[in-house]
Amino acid sequence: MELSEIIAQRKAKFERLSAKGANLYYNQPFTGRINIGEARQNFQEGRSINIAGRIIARRSHGKAVFLDLKDSTGKIQLYLRLDFVGEEKFNTLEDIDIADIISAKGELFKTHAGELTVKAEDFVVLAKALRPLPEKWHGLKDVELRYRQRYLDLIANEEVGKVFLMRSRIIRTIRNFLDDKGFLEVETPMMHPIPGGAAGRPFKTHHNEYDSDLYLRIAPELYLKQLLVGGLDKVYEINRSFRNEGVSTKHNPEFTMLEVYRAYANYEDMMQLAEELIIYVAKEVLGDLSFLYQGKTVELSPPWQRRSFAELVKEKFGIEPDDEAPVMLKKLQSKGFTQGAGSLTRSQVAKLIEDILEQDMNPVRNTKAITGEGKISNGVNVTPVFVTDYFTNLCPLAKTKKDNSLISERFELYVAGLEIGNAYSELNDPIEQKRRFEVEIKEMGTDEKKAIDEDFVLALEHGMPPAGGLGIGIDRLVMLFTGQPSIRDVILFPLLRSEQK
């Protein structure tokens, strides 16, 4: 049957139900309602309950009808008989379909087969579904449709709901961990007059009242560090950030980050914090430090491995941190890498090298991936890796090593090929910070204009204590702990291309 015919039939049923006095789509009394999970968990033979949910299956046997009812907490069977509910009510079942939402009152019992069931004495139609649900495992094989109509995905695929329940639990556990350590959760602006705090192309908007251009934040970092200046020594924000860039299995233009800042700390302290936090979350939500991700066993037991970015670059390409851009490009090309041909700045070449090396941290796609100090993945076990010693021109907000100004006190954390975290010993020298902003603007190599954030520099001029800062990608952490291959699988409504294009 064509979809248009099904919709027409369901609309006719809606009209008949309305004519019989059904008050669909209007508020109904829900006094005493319990969820299905509670009914199952606290089962008592003969207990009277009031429940509600969506019909997901129907079986008719003459003067009896069985309905499977589902809410967010579970599924239960309804048993409706002509002599229980009366002829008039029983006849309305002819106009009730799978996907309709109803409430029901009745007594709990178990069938001969042991099925927990409600013997309904009354029911009310709360909402008529004018469109049918997709067939489970058939109607939602289209990945694009699953993302575009996530509500159908959640109805049809129970495992999808579990992913988002896990996501909520992970975020709640992160909050518990940081709150217990004395960190203060804060909120900073999502609209910035100057985009900053990270490398990324911003989304632009305009405020009519002030006649000012604004940008959706690419990172909250500069505002959070102003709070350190103000004397809030331990702060964090679980924030939504936005970058007007490409999409991939690891990138969505709108994403969730955790950023944590602690005064009188450095990047070594942030390594310890990151390790403790992720281990704590794994124990709380998984109950184990070993788990599968994309066919690989991830082992989180400490200590985690460390690898020097500068040493990796020297080993792989012969590149030194003081090499000029043309020299770096020539060495890359001598190793067979053709990306970035043409005129690039040192920062752009360094970023290109960073992207290439990221593949060496990915044991899911690369069976010879580096997973620890001097170790190669054995294709089975994967351990986290702190990649340290980044070139300073990749880290405009980080302090440099005391003995080498070309290397910064920064790390990136990789787990199973996913870049999970990024951290610095935060630069708190206002003169050096302004100089780096100026260099960054000069080397941007783009038509997109960017100004120095003078408000942030002004804050630094009032004195910011030495501090460590840590950013962790919440979406990627959820991917890791739920075994999902794409960031779209852990974001309820990922950004999609318009259907008209």
Task: pLDDT band for 500, please (50, 70, 90 cuts).
Answer: low
Range 156-489: architecture per CATH = 2-Layer Sandwich (3.30)
Domain boundaries, the chain: 3-127, 156-489
Distance, in Å, from the CA atom of 212 to the CA atom of 496, rounded to the nearest integer, reads 29
Which range (54-63, 270-279, 373-382, 491-500) has the least confidence?
Answer: 373-382
Which range among 141-145, 170-174, 240-244 shows the weakest confidence by mean pLDDT?
A: 141-145
User: How long, in residues, is the chain?
Assistant: 501
Position 377 scores a pLDDT of 45
Q: What pLDDT digit, counting tens, does each position of 86-118 carry?
A: 998 999 999 999 999 999 999 999 999 999 999
Closest CA to 185 of 196, 198, 194, 172: 172
**CATH topology for 3-127?**
OB fold (Dihydrolipoamide Acetyltransferase, E2P) (2.40.50)
| Confidence band for 141, pLDDT divided at 50, 70 and 90 | low
What's the pTM?
A: 0.89
pLDDT of residue 380: 46
Burial 368-401 (b: 16+ CB within 10 A, else e): ebbbbeeeebeeeebbbbbbbbbbbbbbbbbbbb
Pairing of the two strands 296-299 and 370-372: unpaired
Q: Between these two residues, 378 and 459, which has the higher pLDDT value?
A: 459
